[in-house]
Amino acid sequence: MMLTFQVTYFMLAVWIYESPVMFSILSPVLVVGAATGLVVGNLLGLISGFQVLLGPKLPILGMAAFSSGVLRRPVALTIMIAELINNFYFVPILLLTTISAMMIGNLFNQALIKATMEYKGMPVLDWSPPGYAYFVKCKNIMSTSVTAFQPNENAGYVFDTIRNNPRETYPVVEPYYGSARGSAGRDYSREDKMKSSSTSPMSSILEQYETFGRLAGIISRDSLLVILKMHGYKNEPIIPWMVFARFHPNYFSVDTIIQSAEDRSQTINLRQYMDPSPMTLTPEHSMNRAHVLIRSFGTRAIPIVNEEYQVVGMITRADVARYKTWNFFCKYGAYKVPLARDDLFSIPRDGDDPTAT
């Protein structure tokens, strides 16, 4: 009878979970877990021929093991179940059960809620790097379409770029005049993506990547909005940091900025506002290192450079969150989680339409 209830309730919970009806997954998981614990206890009693020692506690242990295997939250589930049964002396056994269930579940797949969010196009940046991320290179996940600014940039170009581009961080690059060994140089332009001319072994590996100029620093979208709003042009006084702090964190929309023809012809000295020493990686660095840097320091993007310090790509929080690793019998690789919306990882501003794509 209990086995029939357990199977029926489990199938109904799966069916409702896939439906558009909003409900909590916690209650069905606890009920199914308690029924599973009771069924397993009765089967063990029939097979061994002896009364199971923890007979009345088996539904509680089943509840803890099943819920932790599905949700992977051992500490929270332990406290919740202990309060539910009003017996805190049972906490050590519950904690051991939930941790064991979580570790065994991690060997096979990820938590149900995390898998559902990826399926719906809403990947989550994990606290720790995914398994086998050390063997996946940055060149496999970086974006080679880079939008960069020159140190002295036209205000109209900056305005048009941040209005049509949802990125949150932009590299500032200098013209590249050949390698440090004195090779022939050439002028830099936005449309002219140059190749590295160095003949070292590392350059022979990286010469396949198009470059966008030598990295001078990075600047955030929020800083550019404040610069445009406060008219921080080259011939104007430098905007003090108190002005940037005043707008943080409630920055305004780019649509609230009105530029005249004179404003669009002005030049902005980005060296006065950029971060001149950003964290960088090379294409041969691992995804594990990129994940640790982004998660630990809270940065939004990391420029990818070659040995000549030329920008060859960018890795953002979205890239690290979207790319997951898989392993199967010592084979590993990365797969890309599709997004529900293209602007899912862009931060909406006051006045922006959050449903726009």
Task: Give the DSSP H or E segment for 316.
Answer: strand 311-316
The pTM assigned to this predicted structure is 0.66
At 357, is the pLDDT very low, low, confident or very high (cuts 50, 70, 90)?
very low
CB atoms within 10 A of CB 266: 19
* DSSP code, position 70: H
At residue 310, φ and ψ (nearest 5 deg) are: -90, 140
275/242 Cα distance (integer angstroms):
17
Q: What is the pLDDT of residues 304-319, one digit of tens each?
A: 999 888 999 999 888 8
Total residues found in the chain within this entry? 357
**Cis peptide leading into 166, omega within 30 of 0?**
no
- DSSP letters, 105-169, are HHTT---HHHHHHHHTT-----SSPPTTGGGSBGGGT-B-----B-SEEEHHHHHHHHHH---SE
- Number of helices and strands (H, E) in the chain? 13, 8
Strand partners, 302: 315
Q: What is the pLDDT of residues 314-355, one digit of tens each?
A: 998 888 888 776 655 556 666 777 776 554 444 333 434 333
Domains of the chain: 2-108 (no CATH), 133-336 (3.10.580.10)
At residue 40, φ and ψ (nearest 5 deg) are: -65, -40
Alpha-carbon distances, residue 174 vs 213, 277, 309 (angstroms) = 6, 14, 10
Mean pLDDT lowest for which of 153-157, 208-212, 284-288?
208-212
Measured at the alpha carbon of residue 162, what is the angle toward residues 243 and 166, in degrees to the nearest 5?
110
Q: Exposed, middle or buried, 305 (CB in 10 Å: 0-12/13-18/19+)?
A: buried
156/323 Cα distance (integer angstroms):
35
At 43, is the pLDDT very low, low, confident or very high (cuts 50, 70, 90)?
confident
